Structure 1
Amino acid sequence: MTNLTIGGVPEHFNYPWYLTLKNKEYNKQNINLRWQDFPGGTGAMCKALRAGDVDIAIVLTEGIIKDIADGNPSKIVQTFVKSPLIWGIHVGAKSSFKNISDLEHATIAISRFGSGSHLMAIVNAYNQGWDVANLKFKVIGNLQGGIDALTNGEADYFMWEHFTTKPLVDDGTFRLIDDCPTPWPCFVIAVRDEVLENNFEEVKKVLDIINGKTKNFKQIDAINRILAERYEQQLEDIQQWLKITEWNDGKPISKNIITRIQNKMVQFKVIEKKKNSSNFIKNMYI
């Protein structure tokens, strides 16, 4: 039995992993795959990949590209969710800020530097024509940290996945100012180089299993109600999320896609310069 550890955010995007683990589908392939929740998001998972604490991670595209460029010894093996991620731009319910233009000089809560909440704040600032060099950040760790920072006035706004934070908008903790979609596919699967070297076939089996599950995920009986209940969402919000979310069909990620994303990240000043796109990916299906 091969032991592998996988990390991901405890959100509805990753429910297909829960189902395959619950059904012991990896065990049937002689793989002991153990899941670890990362409420801190992509920055925390990049750190765990570097430390060898996880072997595989379901990470935000922009976060892992930046971290591989900065020396993370991992590769992207495929896209997981190919549709954009919708980032909600939230303020505290009692905040005086009303419009996105009010936020130009405000303090931004981020889970950590290099995380999606950090990088997408830069993308949003660029979209608004603000001076990215003047952005002010407050590191808050995770979603609960964001709630605390906005409630206590330690930060002014916080960007997190729209549907994950929708219950906090509904209950009056946050107020949604606007949305900012990622200009690229949102989640990819990253694997440590050492694991790809030693357990290539096992990783391939893991991908085959999860791609089989996501292929017909939307057709699972009552999946909208299951997700709404599990993630404490309104049914209509989950239905809308399912409508706009597309998982990967198992095709490998291309160098062209990585190059296009790097071009945008350089434009947004998220990374300084492009690197050879083949350094970021490993094609599992050659």
Structure 2
Amino acid sequence: MKTVKIGGVPEHFNLAWYLTLKNGEYKDAGINLRWKDYFGGTGEMCNALREGEIDLAVILTEGIIKDIIEGNPSKIVQTFVASPLIWGIHVANDAQYQTIEDLKGTKAAISRFGSGSHLMAYINAQNNGWNPETDLEFEVIDNLDGAIEGLTNNLADYFMWEKFTTKPIVDNGIFRRVGNCPTPWPCFVIAVRNEFLEANPDTVKTILDIVNNTTKGFKDIPNIDQIISKRYDQKLEDVQEWLSLTEWSQENLDKETVEVVQNKLFHLNIINSKVDYETLVSKVN
């Protein structure tokens, strides 16, 4: 039995992994797949890949591209979610801010530098014509619980996180959402440490085949909306809206998308250089 360690955020996007693990599909293929939740998101998973703490990660596209360029010895082997991630822009419920423009020059809470919440603050700034050099400031809060504490205690002014994950916090009157900021590319990819990929290409392919078989028919799973609603404490109508907006992928990240991401990150001075497609992406045959 081959042990493989994989990480991802504990969100509804990754339910297919839970279902295939629960069904014992990896064990049936001779793979002991060990899942770990990363509440700190992409920045935390990038570090875990670098340190060999995990072999694979289901991770934000822009975050892993940035980290590979900066030396993370990993490759993207597949797009996992083809649709954009809709980032909600949140403030404390009793905060004075009413619009995105009100947040210009204020402090953004981020899980860590290099995380999605960090990078998307730059995208949001550009979307609104802000100067990233003067209009962005950051406070590291580690995770969603840290964001609740940070915004409630005025350590930071706003926090960007996937809007459906944070919807219960909005419904409970802790956060208030003042706007949204969708990613301009497919949101989640699967990345693998180079050392593991080179030594175990067949194992990686088997894992991808198993999860892809579930994501292909994910929306057709009986009562899937009710399953998600119960497991992730979401209102049924919110889950149904999320399902209508979300598309999974079984293909690799294409060259055009990689170019779009790199151009955006480079333009925003988030990366200092661009690299060849093959440096970032590998095809598992």
| TM-score between the two structures when normalised by the length of structure 2 | 0.98
Moved more, 176-185 or 264-273: 264-273
**Equivalent pairs, count:** 284
Question: 2 CA distance for matches of 1:268 and 1:26?
Answer: 41
**1:90 and 2:87 equivalent?**
no
**1:137 aligned partner:** 138
Could you tell me which amino acid in structure 2 is paired with residue 78 of structure 1?
A: Q
**1:280 and 2:277 equivalent?**
no
SS of 1:26's equivalent in the other structure is helix
* CA contact 1:255–1:278 (8 Å) conserved in 2: no
Could you tell me which amino acid in structure 2 is paired with residue 73 of structure 1?
A: P
Question: 2 CA distance for matches of 1:108 and 1:257?
Answer: 27
SS of 1:207's equivalent in the other structure is helix
**1:183 aligned partner:** 184
Question: 2 CA distance for matches of 1:115 and 1:99?
Answer: 24
Question: 2 CA distance for matches of 1:138 and 1:146?
Answer: 9
Q: For 1:103-122, what aligned pairs fall within 5 Å after superposition? A: 103-122=103-122
Instruction: Please state how far the C-alpha of 1:183 moved relative to its aligned partner.
Output: 0.4
Question: 2 CA distance for matches of 1:99 and 1:259?
Answer: 32
Could you tell me which amino acid in structure 1 is paired with residue 276 of structure 2?
A: N
**2:54 aligned partner:** 54
Instruction: Please state how far the C-alpha of 1:278 moved relative to its aligned partner.
Output: 1.2
Instruction: Please state how far the C-alpha of 1:275 moved relative to its aligned partner.
Output: 1.2
**2:152 aligned partner:** 151
**1:217 aligned partner:** 218
Deviation string for 1:236-261 (max 9, x for gaps)? 0000000000000x222222321222
Question: 1 CA distance for matches of 2:267 and 2:190?
Answer: 24
Q: For 1:16-55, what aligned pairs fall within 5 Å after superposition? A: 16-55=16-55
Question: 2 CA distance for matches of 1:15 and 1:252?
Answer: 20
Deviation string for 1:252-273 (max 9, x for gaps)? 2222321222112222332222
**1:6 aligned partner:** 6
**1:265 aligned partner:** 265
Deviation string for 1:165-186 (max 9, x for gaps)? 0001101000000000000100
**1:192 and 2:197 equivalent?**
no
Could you tell me which amino acid in structure 2 is paired with residue 17 of structure 1?
A: W
Percent of residue pairs bearing the same amino acid type? 57
* CA contact 1:252–1:284 (8 Å) conserved in 2: no
Instruction: Please state how far the C-alpha of 1:161 moved relative to its aligned partner.
Output: 0.3
Question: 1 CA distance for matches of 2:245 and 2:270?
Answer: 26
* CA contact 1:169–1:175 (8 Å) conserved in 2: yes
* CA contact 1:55–1:191 (8 Å) conserved in 2: yes
Could you tell me which amino acid in structure 1 is paired with residue 207 of structure 2?
A: V
**1:240 and 2:241 equivalent?**
yes
Question: 1 CA distance for matches of 2:268 and 2:79?
Answer: 22
Instruction: Please state how far the C-alpha of 1:96 moved relative to its aligned partner.
Output: 0.4
Could you tell me which amino acid in structure 2 is paired with residue 47 of structure 1?
A: N
Q: Which runs of 5+ in 2 are unaligned?
A: none
Deviation string for 1:14-58 (max 9, x for gaps)? 000000000010011111100000010000000000000000000
SS of 1:233's equivalent in the other structure is coil
Moved over 3 A (4+): none
Instruction: Please state how far the C-alpha of 1:133 moved relative to its aligned partner.
Output: 1.0
| TM-score between the two structures when normalised by the length of structure 1 | 0.98
Could you tell me which amino acid in structure 1 is paired with residue 253 of structure 2?
A: I
The root-mean-square deviation of aligned C-alpha atoms, in Å, is: 0.8
Deviation string for 1:126-155 (max 9, x for gaps)? 111111012110000000000000000000
Moved more, 194-203 or 250-259: 250-259
